[in-house]
Structure formats: C-alpha cells, structure tokens
Amino acid sequence: MIIAVGSMRRPKLNAVWEAASAFWPLISPDEPFEVLGVEVSSGVGHTPLTREDLMSGARSRVERLIQKAQAEKQPWRFLVGLEGGFDVVRRDKDRLVFLESWAYVSDGQRGSFGSGGSILIPEPIAKAVVDDGVELGHVIDRFASKKELRDHEGAWGILTLNLIRRQDSFRTAVINAFAPFYNAGAYRPASRGDPGRRPD
C-alpha cells in the first residue's frame, strides 16, 4: 500500500515513515506500506502565519494529491499533507508567536487533521518573519549560523536543542491525524446508547 505525501522534503517523508511504522499494524498488519513523495503546492504563503492557513495548506496538498491520483490513475491508499509555520496569538497588548506542525490525512473519502504541538518563537525570529516577511527557513539559518536547516533539524531542533526535531513534530502530527483510521472504533458516529451521546 502506498502512502503519498505532498512533499519531497526528507524530514517530512521520514516523519510519515516513522509514524506509519508505529500504527500500520493496526491498519493492515499483513500488507507492507511504502511512502512516496510527490511535489505539490500548498496554496498558502511560504511561512503561514495563522493556524487556519496551516490547516488549509496541509489540506490543499492532499486535495492536489487526490486530483493527481485521479488524473494518473494512481493506486495511492492514503494521502498526507504536511504544513509548518506560525500561529500568531494576541493577548492584551502582547503578541505570542508559536511554531506549529500540522498534518491532514485522507483515504480519498474522508479526512482528518492532526497537530504536532507548539513552541514559542523568540521575538527576533518572529519579527523577521511576521513583520518583515522573510521566509522562516532563511531566518532560522541566519539565527543558527547554519544552512538548509529545514532539511535537517529545522527550527524545532534549534529551539529545543534537538530534543524535538522538525521530523519529530511532523511525526506526532501524522500519528494524530491518522487516529480515526487506526482507531476507528473511537471515532465511529454516535448512536443511541453511546456514552458520548447527549439525550434527545
């Protein structure tokens, strides 16, 4: 079974492979899986600045994968879109900027979102990206005096001293997004007698 991912970035592909290795026995224990990278557009800016844009970017990647699969008659079992960027939160007069990783997963019929958590961004990085419009990848390279960090530990690794890398954050997002598929019983529609159903 092929899991198509809307990116060619190695941390994203590795994240999907690691996540699927953990839950795949719950989905199809007798059939191996393969992770395939496919370059598609997210439809959002180079560094999304809202949670809504992050979720939209992840979902747009999947929608483009579905279109590609239909046009080329590709037998992809699952489609995954991953998007990283900022969520800017305002509290009174303060601005808090968080780095987040989001995933959207679909089997072509239904889809599900998952997040990989949040980490507060230092103000100099936030200012360069949010106020000055510089792409996060360029800013974090300058901040850490390294090159092409987004293909390695990413901003996550720099800010957590590699306790959590970019790949780790996306791995968590993918596991969370796949939950309705590998734990379908918990996500079944409510029916009469279900503990979570409110009485009529």
Q: How far is CA 11 from CA 18, 128, 160, in A?
A: 10, 24, 16
Of how many residues is the chain composed?
A: 200
pTM of the predicted model, to two decimals?
Answer: 0.90
- Please give the residue that has the higher pLDDT: either 143 or 32: 32
Question: What rounded mean pLDDT belongs to the chain?
Answer: 91
For the beta carbon of residue 88, count every other beta carbon within 10 angstroms. 17
**DSSP notation for 92-156:** TTEEEEEEEEEEEEE-SS-EEEEEEEEEEPPHHHHIIIIIT---HHHHHHHHHT-S-GGGTTHHH
pLDDT at 47 over 60: yes
| Share above pLDDT 90 across residues of the chain, in percent, rounded to a whole number | 76
- pLDDT band, residue 113 (cuts 50/70/90): very high
**C-alpha–C-alpha distance, residues 136 and 128, integer Å:** 8
pLDDT at 199 over 60: no
- pLDDT band, residue 191 (cuts 50/70/90): low
128-145: average pLDDT:
89
Enter the CATH code of domain 2-185.
3.90.950.10
Give the model's pLDDT for residue 72: 96
**C-alpha–C-alpha distance, residues 147 and 23, integer Å:** 33
Give yes or no for a contact between 99 and 86, defined as CB atoms under 8 angstroms apart. yes
Beta pairing, strands 2-5 & 76-91? parallel
The amino acid at residue 192 is R
131-150: average pLDDT:
86
Q: Calculate the CA 186 to chain-centre distance.
A: 22
138-153: average pLDDT:
83
pLDDT at 15 over 70: yes
**Residue whose entry in the numeric block shows the structure tokens 């899986």:** 33
**C-alpha–C-alpha distance, residues 187 and 180, integer Å:** 6
Give the model's pLDDT for residue 61: 97
**C-alpha–C-alpha distance, residues 198 and 200, integer Å:** 6
Longest dimension (CA), the chain: 61
